[in-house]
Amino acid sequence: MDLKTNFIGLKMQNPTVLASGILGTNSALMKRVFEEGGAGAVTMKSIGPEERNGHENPSVIELEHGLLNAVGLPSPGFQNMEEEWKELEKINFPLIASIYGANIEQFAAVAKNVALHKPDAIEANISCPNTKEHGQIFGTSEEASQAIISAVKKEIGKIPLIAKLTPQASNIAAIAAGCEKAGADAICAINTVAGMCIDIDARKPILHNKFGGLSGPAIKPVGIKCVYQIFESVKIPILGMGGISNGKDAIEYIQAGATAVGIGSGVFYHGIEVFKKACEEMEHWMKENNVKSLKEIRGIAHG
Ligand SMILES: Cc1cc2nc3c(=O)[nH]c(=O)nc-3n(C[C@H](O)[C@H](O)[C@H](O)COP(=O)(O)O)c2cc1C
């Protein structure tokens, strides 16, 4: 059984990836997820253009089948990351840095700085709101997505670029194709799905920010559908995520067309061992189904 995965040049011991935003940017934590958790690659929390505290509490609620969060992209800002980078640069396993900005110039500035520290890949979180267009999410517009991706690509040279998409786009396959044209080396799908909860006794929204992003098991069918559609619209590889908590979920994403699979909320529910366990379950499924390599089943659901 072979779980080894080459994703945009990242040589991974298995296809699992820590999703962005789940365990911050701290090098010791990133190392634990790789060494103890067994992840194939690790994504840092999105780094922004300036220091940001994020939204007030309550900012995360646990629901029956998922999490609703409005942490609001808290970030030390790229200028305050220099000390942490000294440690992060010593990391000798696949490390993906995630970046965001509220306009093209901010994306470019963050990308330029982050690239100096040579992470193995850079993920552009274009699933965040655009200030110029009054909070519209970049990733819902083909034009805005392409503009960001080509601006970031220009700044980061040979470092592979992943475009992280939102399921809120009306045609995510077209957005993905546009990002590929603009220079993305891979697509990551999906970010959270917008949602809201009301405390009926208090008669008020529960999250301080009112609205949040839904993640975890509830969004798996949304992620699977997005990856399936993107697979038919691009040639570049896909990092699939949304609701993965075990090996069978990961196999489902791979059959939809994913090369690598991200786990975010699954870490909250099952701890960092979730990566190791998912890999064992994948191997078990492969053995039972006489599958020797994940390549044999990638995109197989397309018939
Ligand atoms: C608390 C929390 C914070 C997140 N922060 C980020 C972030 O900083 N950047 C980003 O691209 N995605 C962020 N995400 C989205 C996840 O990376 C992932 O795309 C999403 O949660 C779906 O995967 P999951 O169902 O496995 O959690 C965050 C998700 C959660 C739950």
> Has 128 been annotated as catalytic?
yes
Please state the separation of Cα 5 from the chain's center in Å: 17
Nearest CA to ligand 1 atom 14: 21
Query: Counting runs of H as helices and runs of E as strands, what totals does the chain give?
Result: 9, 18
Q: pTM (2 decimals)? A: 0.97
Q: 23, 78, 138, 192: which to mutate for ligand 1, most atoms within 8 A of CB?
A: 192
CA separation for the pair 141, 136 (Å, rounded): 9
Closest by CA position to 33, among listed 197, 303, 278, 200 = 278
Closest by CA position to 138, among listed 186, 78, 79, 179 = 179
Tell me the CA–centroid distance for residue 303 and ligand 1, in Å. 31
Task: Name all domains of the chain by residue range, CATH numbers in brackets.
Answer: 5-302 (3.20.20.70)
**Residue 54, SS3?**
coil
Closest by CA position to 227, among listed 244, 215, 239 = 239
Could you read off the pLDDT tens digit of each residue along the chain, which spans 303 residues? Answer: 789 999 999 999 999 999 999 998 899 999 999 999 999 999 999 999 988 888 888 889 999 999 999 988 778 889 999 999 999 999 999 999 999 999 999 999 999 999 999 999 999 999 876 666 666 789 999 999 999 999 999 999 999 999 999 999 999 999 999 999 999 999 999 999 999 999 999 999 999 999 999 999 999 999 999 999 999 999 999 999 999 999 999 999 999 999 999 999 999 999 999 999 999 999 999 999 999 999 999 999 998
**Beta partners for residue 163, in sequence order:** 124, 187
- Which atom of ligand 1 is nearest to 188's Cα? 19
What's the burial of 183, exposed, middle or buried (CB within 10 Å: 0-12/13-18/19+)? middle
pLDDT of residue 35: 96
Tell me the CA–centroid distance for residue 34 and ligand 1, in Å. 18
Tell me the CA–centroid distance for residue 139 and ligand 1, in Å. 15
pLDDT of residue 130: 67
Residues having CB within 6 Å of any atom of ligand 1: 19-21, 45-46, 60, 67, 69, 71, 73, 98, 125, 164, 191-192, 215-216, 219, 241-244, 263-266
Closest by CA position to 249, among listed 271, 223, 272 = 223
pLDDT of residue 135: 67
Task: Report whether the peptide linkage leading into residue 221 is cis, meaning its omega lies within 30 degrees of zero.
Answer: no
DSSP string, 58-88: P-EEEETTEEEE-----B--GGG-HHHHHHH
Single out the catalytic residue among 128, 179, 188, 279: 128
